[in-house]
Amino acid sequence: MTDVPMPFADPSRRAFLGGSLASLLLAHPGLARAASAALASDVAADWPQVADLIRRYVAEKKLPGVVATFGWGSAPPRSLLLGSQAFGDAAAVGLDSLYRIYSMTKPVTGLLTAMLITERKLSLDTRLADVFPAFAAMKVQDGGKAGAPLRPTDKPITVRHLLTHTSGFGYGGIGRDAVSLELTRRGVVPGAVSRQIIPGVTSPTPTPGPKEFLRRASEVPLMFDPGVQFRYSMSLDILGLMLQEMTGKPLSRLMQERIFVPLGMTSTGFRVREADAGRLTTNYGVLGNMPLPIDPGAKSVFLDAPAFEFGGAGLVSSPRDFDRFAQVLVNDGKLDGKKVIDPAAVRLAVSNLLPAGAATKGTGIESAGYGAGGRVGLGDDAGMFGWSGAAGTLFFVQRRIGLRAALFAQFMPPEIYPLQKEFLAAARLDVAPMLTKKAA
């Protein structure tokens, strides 16, 4: 299914949100049961390209079901819903179905960090080693190349570096470089895929608890000096542990108190309750165009307690919940007409936080910026912010025009189908005439 032990996509393999909606802004000053499910006609009329895309994936039996949500300003979300939560499942997908959002956890951890920064509980310059001293004397193995000599770095890893993947860390379970492979060998893999042992998919070494995870991570060299370049990594997972240590509260509690409860996100968390297992979709691994269940909803690994709460890839959420998160990003912290998040924190989270001079060439954010866990549009693409997940989910906001949109499906690896790219392209085509009408 994939050439790495854990099938989290490396965004350097695909340009995320880059260009697919930039031209839009330039123009603007059970299978049978699943197939029989109907798209809401009024929404499909406004979003015909997206509706056709969803119909095709379900009709061709590539996926059992797909959900897309859209919203303008503070208006309630509109949705396209087609299919079921699993092949052969009578339960239709809906706004309250549960999805493994994997790396869409990163912007949530990012917003939480931005909130704590605006409250002066930490800063972008706070050093990782001041919280976890084991990271005070890191070595570098340039480029993560096997056999490359080790050298010390005198540059401290900071919160800015962790937020923007410029820390120098590798990514166990994703990277094919020597550093990332060593992390994988040691079990420093911040993610869960299945209760099953699946060769080439699940990590051969179990992920340890947080203290041991940090100890092992500190013993593996960096790929480059902090601040030098963007490289997708386990940075947000380490940042989540850093927030826990600094506040004395578990990451789940911090998110619950600061984000989920204020936003009314009642279906989002790091573990699915047994009572909610019926809402959890099945995740599929695609092998030779054949989708095979690797994490059935009723027996999901997300029903188990994780080794720790992964700030970069651990959340399960619903389309309804995540739309509320996207709304506060579009509306400067407002939801349902009320301020629920400090506007300064939202603006910080969606701004370009890359260190000056950090290289991005050849990555998924080339010609763009990166904020608190998500890609930031620059120039004609200004106002864009978003990110994707390793099992087929994606969201973006375009603050300049007040638009938010998200896609929910469950399959791995995400590049096996071009659904995420096709969704962005279809949304661009559908939005263009809407903007023309608004401008008229």
Give per-residue pLDDT as tens, 225-251.
Answer: 999 999 999 999 999 999 999 999 999
Model confidence at 30: pLDDT above 50: no
Model confidence at 25: pLDDT above 80: no
Quote the pLDDT of residue 175: 86
Average predicted confidence (pLDDT) for the chain: 90
Percentages helix, strand, coil for the chain, rounded to the nearest 5? 40, 15, 45
Averaged pLDDT for residues 78-92: 95
Pairwise CA distance, residues 85 & 409, whole Å? 9
Pairwise CA distance, residues 194 & 157, whole Å? 32
- C-alpha distances out from residue 286 to 7, 247, 299, Å: 11, 41, 19
Pairwise CA distance, residues 234 & 241, whole Å? 11
Model confidence at 16: pLDDT above 70: no
pTM: 0.92
Backbone dihedral angles phi then psi of residue 403, each to the nearest 5 degrees: -105, 145
Quote the pLDDT of residue 13: 35
Parse the chain into domains and list their residue ranges: 11-98+263-352+388-439, 110-247
Averaged pLDDT for residues 288-303: 95
Q: Which amino acid is at 71?
A: G
Pairwise CA distance, residues 324 & 265, whole Å? 7
Model confidence at 8: pLDDT above 90: no
Quote the pLDDT of residue 154: 86
Axis crossing angle, helix 235-247 with helix 210-219, rounded to the nearest 10: 130
Model confidence at 2: pLDDT above 80: no
State in words which class domain 11-98+263-352+388-439 has.
alpha beta
Averaged pLDDT for residues 338-346: 98
Averaged pLDDT for residues 53-75: 97
